[in-house]
Structure 1
């Protein structure tokens, strides 16, 4: 029986942050190669999942089906502002019910954040694509996963959840920004 393939996507700074102290992704964490990789992945996904503060601002964004994780609805509701979006409260409806409400029961689901949403799927990802910007630091920023802390990197968090790095692709050589596909260890 076909099933949903769940993939995660984030770019993290050297200190494991996805946003600055104001909870905004700064320009310093945006790189052309990573943006192209991300856009291509989302173009190939059947459903995008993110929190109400996360989004991707790309030309194809309005064309993508999505689940927006929020506590503003009891379970599931159409998004009154975006016709292809479904508002989803995990306390009121299962992920499977949310996918069905969005009209997606097979294919690829791309989870794009934020930290709490990433954590919700930590034991369900087939692959997590961690882009890494080793020359960017965001002191006091928002960690990409709730478990990231001083002395605990995103890579250590993924390893602790049963993932192993499978392959790495250099996205922006001048800034040494790469993406690693973390797969469930066998």
Structure 2
């Protein structure tokens, strides 16, 4: 039976934030090494899943099949602005049903946020790729996960059964690394 691997992707500031207080990713978090890593990952994905504020703004964005979470539809509906996207209300149908409606039953589902979307999949991630920009601080910003900043993003991932792998330096100029957090069977 085909399976869908679920992987999350986010870059956060030193204080665990992914956006400013207006839900906009600041330029300080738009780091070239992370952009390359993120783009390559999404190019491998069979499905991209995100909320209304989380878009990747890349040349291939409109080519990617995606689910966009919303409460404005009953279950699923075509996105009128993107023929490769499907609007999905998790209260109306399961992730599996939404995936089938989007024409995806196997491969990689890339979850790219925001916080509520990340949280929906916390107990289902096969891998969560956490990039950290240690020189960036957004004290009044949007936490990457519910529970941050009382707990660090790493503590939240560990509390959901994910284990840190070896960090990879992806941008030496900004000291940015990405760590794979994997579920151990």
- 2:23–2:53 Cα contact (<8 Å) kept: no
Cα distance in 2 for partners of 1:7, 1:147 equals 20
C-alpha displacement at 1:52, in angstroms? 1.0
CA-CA distance at 1:185 after TM superposition:
3.3
Asked if structure 1 preserves the Cα contact closer than 8 Å seen for 2:46 and 2:107, the reply is: yes
TM-score, scaled to structure 1: 0.98
Equivalent residue for 1:170?
Answer: 169
**Counterpart residue number, 2:79:** 79
Gapped regions of structure 2 (runs ≥ 5): none
Q: SS at the partner of 2:24?
A: coil
For residues 171 and 164 of structure 2, the distance between their equivalents in structure 1, rounded to whole angstroms, comes to 19
How does 1:110-121 map onto structure 2 within 5 Å?
Answer: 110-121=110-121
Alignment partner, residue 25 of structure 2 = 25
Partner residue of 2:48?
48
Q: TM-score, normalised by structure 2?
A: 0.98
- Alpha-carbon distance, 1:113 to partner: 0.2
Aligned residue number for residue 4 of structure 1: 4
Paired with 2:66 and 2:126, the residues of 1 have a C-alpha distance of 19
* Partner Cα distance (1:108, 1:89) in 2: 20
Distance 2:33 2:86 in 1: 30
Whether 2:155 is the aligned partner of 1:137: answer: no
- Deviating beyond 6 angstroms after TM superposition, the runs of 4 or more aligned structure 1 residues are none
RMSD: 0.8
Secondary structure of the residue aligned to 1:84 is strand
Counterparts of 1:76 and 1:162 in 2: how far apart (Å)? 30
Cα distance in 2 for residues equivalent to 1:92 and 1:22: 28
Give me the whole-angstrom Cα distance separating, in 2, the residues matched to 1:118 and 1:166.
Answer: 19
Q: Is the 8 A contact 1:21 1:139 kept in 2?
A: no
What's the secondary structure of 2:123's corresponding residue? Answer: coil
Cα distance between partner residues in 2 of 1:141 and 1:113: 15
Residues 48 and 111 in structure 1, CA contact (< 8 A), matched pair in contact too: yes
Shift of 1:139: 1.0
Whole-angstrom CA distance in 1 between matches of 2:5 and 2:61: 20
